[in-house]
Structure 1
């Protein structure tokens, strides 16, 4: 299968590192003109420099209306939008205050809502588009150590399904992609204390975390960011034109269901 996104403009939010950066790299390698997004100009510029030609950057905090408006002003239309921006913060339910819940909701859910309102009408007018929400296996397998995160990711799956139905018959697809434990910079930071204590390779520490905390994992390790990005590149392609309204798992088999 040869995926060719030449002539397509793709926005990837939260893409200065981790899964988002890998998605941006994958889309660029498939020929798309890519827009990098992050909160700080320094990190955006660094990511753009790493990716090279035909890449632009917009520094904007999409958890805020002002940041969203800044992005849309700079890039008023796109063929592919990947709402990847997200945060997670382990905390017991009874220690999680309203501010933490609201922060997760604004970053993980409302940023995607605003992007959909801004970019889906233009895709519909052209008769082609791809809108992809980055959810998580935690949407179905709510983690007891961060219920607030799981709830926000369940909302992402519901949002993608609803938007797909809203865009029915337009040539625009909307899907949610559900990574499992993935060895991104954020996960590495979460595991750094254990890595430093044991002096073991970070991949081994991550695998132990997966087997201990996600025992239903079939691959018994953390995925790489590139493995997750591969799914997004496919979903963004012409070849995925019959895939919409789906919750597509790249979870290593963590979700223990047949569907």
Structure 2
């Protein structure tokens, strides 16, 4: 299958590293014009430099904006051209016991993980509908199906993304715009690598081996019994952004290595 997105413009939020960067890279290699987003101009410029190394012919630009509040979303929207593909990847996570999560913590997670996608979709999707083509992706998590006891607040925000994605897909039904969610499981992103660095250094094992041990300790239902790579997650997203995925909308597609133990 050859995916060609030449002539399409894609915005990938929080794309200066990790899964977001892998998605931006994959889209750039399909010929799409890619807009990178991060919280600081420095991180955006570094990401653009990395992308130009692997996709020197790609059309790339970047916008610095923190999507944790309405002001940041408005900053991003004010600088955007017309967008055909919106990948809502911005999100935060962290281990905090339920009884230690105050209202401010819940609000931070809600604003970043849920409202960033609400604001951008509300602003950008109507023009996609008018043009008769568009792709909207929400990067949720297997934690949205399998709420983790050690970060209930995070799981709730990721479940909300699934509802948002399905509802928006129904709202634009028949328009040529598809809306889907992707649910990664444990993924060897920059954040997980940093968290495991101490154990890697102490044990002398490879990062991949330490990550696999972490997965089996904390997500023992994993069928691949290792962490996914960011590229493996991005591959699903790139397909859903393609013209070939035109019959897939309102779906929640897992790239969780089989962590969620059900058949649907």
**TM-score normalised by the shorter chain: which range applies?**
over 0.9
Paired residue for 1:133, among 125, 138, 145?
138
Higher mean C-alpha deviation, range 76-85 or range 218-227:
76-85
Q: 1:231 corresponds to which residue?
A: 236
> In the comparison of the two structures, how many residue pairs are matched?
259
Paired residue for 1:61, among 52, 58, 66?
66
Deviations 1:145-189 (A, max 9, x none): 111111000000110000000000100000000000000001112
Taking the aligned partners of 2:110 and 2:213, their CA distance within structure 1 comes to 30
Higher mean C-alpha deviation, range 186-195 or range 240-249:
186-195
Deviations 1:6-65 (A, max 9, x none): 000000000000000000000000110000000000000011111124110000001121
Mapping of residues 241-256 of structure 1, within 5 Å: 241-256=246-261
Q: Give unpaired runs (5+ residues) of structure 2.
A: 53-57
Q: 1:215 corresponds to which residue?
A: 220
SS of match in other structure, 1:176: strand
TM norm structure 2: 0.96
TM norm structure 1: 0.98
| 1:143 is the counterpart of 2:148 | yes
Deviations 1:221-253 (A, max 9, x none): 000000000000000000000000000000000
Q: Give unpaired runs (5+ residues) of structure 1.
A: none
Taking the aligned partners of 1:63 and 1:167, their CA distance within structure 2 comes to 26
Aligned CA-pair RMSD: 0.9
| 1:177 is the counterpart of 2:169 | no
